[in-house]
Amino acid sequence: MANLPLKNIIFHFLIILLILVVQTKARQLDIHYYEHSCPQAERIIRHVVHDATLHDSKVAPRILRMFFHDCFVRGCDASVLLDSTDDNIAEKDGPPNKSLRSYYVIDEVKARLEEACPHTVSCADIIAIAARDVVILSGGPYWEVYKGRKDGKISRANETLGLPRPSFSSSKLIEIFSSKGLGIKDLVTLSGGHTLGFAHCASFEARLHRYNDYFDIDPTMDIIFANMLKKKCANRHKRDNNAGYYLDSTSSIFDNEYYKRLVAGKGVLGSDQALYNDYRSKFLVESYAKYEALFFMEFTTSMIKLGNLGVNNHHHGEIRRNCRHVN
């Protein structure tokens, strides 16, 4: 009789263990996922992305940012690709995603993949692979992409308001990243994605005029750089909608220049400069500014972690036939 509760406990323990194993398996990604079902998948993606970047230099930064925005909202489930419908405003139309664009590249990839291996490669995996490819095409490091994500069926514009903003302090950024299971190192490393691309004036002009009660210009900025940005963003009501500035002086090359700029007080976004001005992250910025190889190595690790966020398991996802609509 005395053995009965113990047997019960062991039995329940084994059941829980079994459930955990099954769940972990379902969520596990694999670098060989399409090895048999669509061996040409990565080659097709690479070709389409390569062609697109040759025609449009904005494709690389936009796709890298798309991956971040996809994974940070509902996990890496391609929810960022779904179009709005009559009764739902999708992530795409949320304020931070208005400037994403380049969705046509993913559409083109998906169309080719549907011809080659119908209903096999998820849109979420396409974004993850394309993001890796734009990094390589821009001169950055290679990593094996883990695959097997499923596409989600829900996409809500208001959830994009949870994405980090350029006005956020380092503490706020650390908090948001930590809520996703990403540490300070991941924050500093992934922010290195800003080695590519461009920011519109609206993303940084609050630093340039009436910054706070004491300073007109953000005092952490190099003053000559700040005055140059001020000129770029003058005449708010008359200026071109595309007015802004490059996030890095070598904005089409994936390198460690971004970190060197932060050390020099020439970060464009307040959220970038904040990483250098916080003792918890400063040494990482300095290390990456000195050692590009270190940045490259850590970037691959953090991108794999980013790609694991909220990965959709088999029961809640699907393989979309068209990345813009649920099946």
Q: How near is the Cβ of 266 to ligand HEM at its closest, in Å?
A: 16
Residue 95 near residue 169 (C-beta atoms within 8 A): no
Looking at 139, 164, 220, 326, which residue binds ligand HEM (CB under 6 A)?
Answer: 164
Residue 143 near residue 42 (C-beta atoms within 8 A): no
Interatomic CA distance for residues 259 and 267, integer angstroms? 8
Listing DSSP states for 34-61 in one string gives: TTTT-TTHHHHHHHHHHHHHHH-TTHHH
Nearest to ligand HEM of 58, 305 (CB atom): 58
- Residue 200 among the catalytic residues: no
Tell me the CA distances in angstroms from 140 to 65, 186, 300, one per residue in order: 15, 17, 10
Angle at 90 between CA 252 and CA 98, to 5 degrees: 35
173 binds ligand HEM (CB under 6 A): yes
Q: How near is the Cβ of 270 to ligand HEM at its closest, in Å?
A: 8
Q: How near is the Cβ of 66 to ligand HEM at its closest, in Å?
A: 9
Q: How near is the Cβ of 228 to ligand HEM at its closest, in Å?
A: 17
Interatomic CA distance for residues 110 and 106, integer angstroms? 6
137 binds ligand HEM (CB under 6 A): no
Please count the residues of this chain forming the interface with ligand HEM, following the rule CB under 6 A: 27
Nearest to ligand HEM of 308, 320 (CB atom): 308
Q: Which of 32, 50, 69, 209 is catalytic?
A: 69
156 binds ligand HEM (CB under 6 A): no
Token pair in block for residue 300:
């691959």
**Helix, strand or coil for residue 309?**
coil
Looking at 52, 64, 105, 289, which residue binds ligand HEM (CB under 6 A)?
Answer: 64
**Helix, strand or coil for residue 281?**
helix
308 binds ligand HEM (CB under 6 A): no
Site string for ligand HEM, 91-120 (x = CB under 6 A): --------x---------------------
User: Of 125, 162, 157, which Cα lies nearest the Cα of 144?
Assistant: 125
Looking at 94, 152, 197, 265, which residue binds ligand HEM (CB under 6 A)?
Answer: 197
Residue 90 near residue 98 (C-beta atoms within 8 A): no
Residues catalogued as catalytic: 69
Residues interacting with ligand HEM, by CB under 6 A? 58, 61-62, 64-65, 68, 99, 164-166, 168, 173, 187, 190-191, 193-194, 196-200, 203, 244, 247, 269, 271
